[in-house]
Amino acid sequence: MSNSQGSHRAARGRGRTAVAGTRGPATVVVPGPSPVPPHEELTLAAWPRRTPTVVDMPAGRTAAATGGAGRTAQALTVTALPVPVPGGRSGPRRGARRRRAAVRPEQLRRLVPQALVVAFLAGGTTAFVAEDKAVTLDVDGEPRTLHTFADDVGELLAEQGIDDDAAVSPAPGTRLGNGDVITVGGPRPVTLTLDGVRRRVWTSERTVGAALRRLGVREEGAYLSVSRAAPIGRTGLTLDVRTERTVTVMADGREHTVRTNAATVREAVARAGVVLRGEDTTSVAPESFPREGQTVSVLRIVTTRVVREELLPYAVERSGDGDLAAGTEMVEREGRDGSRRVMYALRTVNGVRQKPRVLATEVVREPVSRVVKAGTGPRTGGTGGTAGKATARRLNR
């Protein structure tokens, strides 16, 4: 039997490793048979058998290595590596122990800082997760679950862009905990101007139309400053409402009745088909708010201007004179009337003439006052001397 045939037969043996094609003595290390559980024998029998792996560790040169047939063959050390048997468990365990044993101190020095970093990150992650809170935020009846790191309700509202002056429960300064429920909503302020009367009301409705129905405001034919479908925010809104009213307009001898939501009497008159021209006005202030059942009269006003010249009567100036006997008077200067021009406004209302009104005045000639001297002297028996003195005094002037 040749060497090759012997090696094949040896390979068929269980757990044995053979070395073929070597000359001279050799050291062969054969591992012991691997224990195979009985229930795995059938499976192993069906697997293809592999040739054992052999690693030759030459201790010297052999004739086959040098190619020389006459040289002395030296000892050849052969180490047979164990072939892992399918289904065996001892091989992986021994490999793991060898890998753990192969860790060097230099590798440990590198691994320790990395392990510390990993531990620090793990601790920070734990603290980070611990600060996260799951809360329920109910805004205007629509709840939703949030995850937040806010410390109190105020911070949560700031994160969500919600004004903290809105109706909030609990209060904005309350600390948050996992599972808390925060409610934002409640009545909202509305500055309502209804038919010219302004007031402030509170409503829990979320739209203008719903709020008006709740307040009992008649919407049919009413004027609204905003749409009925407009939402009422948490800060409220300003709303002007003018309901329809019946207004009677009297103009030019005719009566006009109209249903209107006009804001002023002037607008109501226009909707009644009556046109105001020039100085025309109404019996009530045109800019006032028309009331239900109100009657408004239109005043047709016509104004004309007239210029007249009038006299300015002179004044009389009196003074005492001791040279004249008591009870006598002497005209020292005659008076003269003046004149002026006056512009009047002649106004008629619905054809009825009103009292003229002075618009402008211009003086054409100034009046000259009359000067009279009254005697304050003693009375005498005759009047010649006194008359002569008075006449002389007048001539000297």
Let me know whether 132 and 116 are in one domain.
Answer: yes
What does the alpha-carbon distance between residue 194 and residue 172 come to, in Å, rounded to a whole number? 35
The H or E element that residue 208 is part of is helix 208-215
pLDDT band (50, 70, 90) for residue 138: confident
- The answer to whether the beta carbons of residues 30 and 11 sit under 8 Å apart is no
Q: Are strands 197-203 and 223-224 parallel, antiparallel or unpaired?
A: unpaired
54 within domain boundaries: no
| Range of weakest confidence among 34-38, 130-134, 237-241, 368-372 | 34-38
For residue 170, whether the previous peptide bond is cis, meaning omega lies within 30 degrees of 0, is yes
- 159 and 181 belong to one structural domain: yes
Q: What is the pLDDT of residue 381?
A: 55
* Domain enclosing residue 211, as ranges: 188-242
Q: Is residue 76 part of a domain?
A: no
Question: In the sheet where 370-377 sits, what is the strand order?
Answer: 316-325, 370-377, 329-333
**Last residue of one domain, picked from the residues 299, 333, 364:** 299
Please name the amino acid found at residue 5: Q
CATH code for position 222: 3.10.20.30
pLDDT band at 378 (very low <50, low <70, confident <90, very high): confident
Lowest mean pLDDT among 143-152, 328-337, 382-391: 382-391
Question: Is 285 contained in some domain?
Answer: yes
* C-beta of residue 289 within 8 angstroms of C-beta of residue 264: yes
Whole-structure pTM over 0.85, yes or no? no
Residue 19 lies in a domain: no
pLDDT band at residue 367 using 50, 70 and 90 as cut-offs: very high
344 in a structural domain? yes
Are 365 and 339 in a shared domain?
A: yes
pLDDT number for residue 165? 58
Quick: pLDDT tens for 24-57: 444 444 444 545 555 444 444 444 555 544 444 4
Residues 182, 204 share a domain: no
The number of domains in the chain is 4
- What CA–CA distance (Å, rounded) separates 192 from 200? 6
375 close to 329: Cβ distance less than 8 angstroms: yes
- More reliable by pLDDT, 41 or 224: 224
Only one residue has tokens 């100034």, namely 366
Considering the domain architecture, whether residues 294 and 335 belong to the same structural domain is answered as no
Total number of residues shown for the chain? 397
